[in-house]
Amino acid sequence: MAGLEPRGFTWVIAGRLAVSERIGGYGFQHRRVRREEEIAWLSGRGINTVLSFLPGNQNQAAYEAAGFRFLHRPIDGELEPGDVAAVFDAFDEALDVEGASVLVHRDLIDDTLVGLLGGYLVHAGLIKDPIIATTIIQEITGRPLGPEGRRLIPVRS
């Protein structure tokens, strides 16, 4: 398959939900050619939807030109636990389309993004225990989750 694998690309739910850093890189590292190569790689892996948590709508035109569905839910700054329900609704909306294969990203794979992914696993009922969700999302992403991310994983009653 053609293209270039995006930095940090990992399937969270095989074939349905993936995560990576911003396509094409972020800041001064962003390159149009790299973006095009990464989009080609994603398309070859079945990704058809991008859920972006970037503050701006960077790359929207490129995603749509490649035939991807694009959802933009900006997260600017630190996210409070009370705000995660709206983010989980965005995950639900992205995944609710039949055949959706979703990539979520921010500039970097940080505590907020990893915490949201772990929290979504609980929200979706895929994992009941937030401690197990924390352990699993750390294993999937290969990244330890600090207190900022852990607080975004809801406790189910």
Residue range 10-20, pLDDT digits in tens: 999 999 999 99
CATH number for 96: 3.90.190.10
Residue 68 placed within a domain: yes
In the chain, what is the straight-line distance between the N-terminal and C-terminal CA atoms, in Å?
45
Q: Domain range for residue 65? A: 10-113
b/e code 94-132 from CB counts within 10 Å (16+ = b): bbeeeebbbbbbbbebebbbbbbbbbbbbbeeebeebee
Q: Please check whether residue 33 lies inside any domain of the structure.
A: yes
Question: What does the pLDDT look like over 29-88, one tens digit per residue?
Answer: 668 888 999 999 999 999 999 999 998 888 899 999 999 999 999 998 888 888 999 999
Q: Which residue in 83, 54, 84 sits closest to 71, CA to CA?
A: 54
Q: Residue 60 falls within a domain, yes or no? A: yes
| Total structural domains within the chain | 1
Is residue 100 a part of any domain in this protein?
A: yes
User: Residue 76 domain-assigned?
Assistant: yes
Q: What is the pTM of this model?
A: 0.93
Q: Please, which residues have CB within 8 angstroms of residue 92's CB and are 6 or more apart in sequence?
A: 124
